[in-house]
Amino acid sequence: MADPTADLSLSDVTSGEPGRPGVPGGTAVPRTVSATPDDRGTGGLTHVREDGSAHMVDVTGKNETSRTAVATGRVRTRPDVLDMVFADGSEGLPKGDALPVARVAGIMGAKKTPEIIPLCHPLPLGKITVDFRREDAATHGADAVRIRASVKTRGVTGVEMEALTAVTTAALTVYDMIKAVDRHGVIDDVRVLAKSGGKSGSWDVRDAPADGPTGGPVSGPVSGPHGEGA
């Protein structure tokens, strides 16, 4: 089932006046925040106060529940580079075995999420998996390293950002490992695939409209010799 989200519109009442926050001698300028629910989320910007300023959401009154999030992304590169990445020991890559290094980086990235995403809450992460799979242009539209991260916790808020951070950190590491042989590698298709737990319940991108902003086909489970995290 699809979970509603917000089609958000932020508009500054004014711009450039000395009253803008952060301008010496200025005062707060009113901003309007409006939200129209649709099929993509839960409605409303929870990190924005009525005056338009950002804040950390108070979660102290929320109940602890088991929560999971799954995210994906990919690093597009040449077929010959993929041969090196998925060879035993990443033979031919100057920096060596790419995927084990990227896996550890993804796990570390998930743990560091609240340190690099300012308004995220520190959470006790119970399990993190980072998986890799080779994708070929003939069957997937591009030659790429597909990355899939799953994060679990028991806490008061979700772990979507941790899953996304795991994917992007792993992707950046893959790029770092291959840039000596392909500086034109591209990181893209980073998105949340599914989440469960919490007040809003479960959500899966496969239930979204096929023509929606996050709809369309989703690759199946990632498996193989590089399939388990920590």
Q: Which residues are catalytic?
A: 176
CA distance 90 to 31: 52
Distance between CA atoms of 159 and 153, rounded to whole angstroms? 7
Contact 30, 52 (CB under 8 A): yes
Please say whether the beta carbons of 218 and 208 come within 8 A: no
Q: Is 174 exposed, middle or buried (0-12, 13-18, 19+ CB in 10 A)?
A: buried
Buried b (16+ CB within 10 A) or exposed e, 72-93: bbbbbbeeebbebbbeeebeeb
Dihedral angle, C-alpha 160, 203, 215, 230, nearest 10 °: 40
Helix axes 98-111, 160-178, angle to 10 degrees: 150
- Alpha-carbon distance of 143 to 137, in angstroms, equals 5
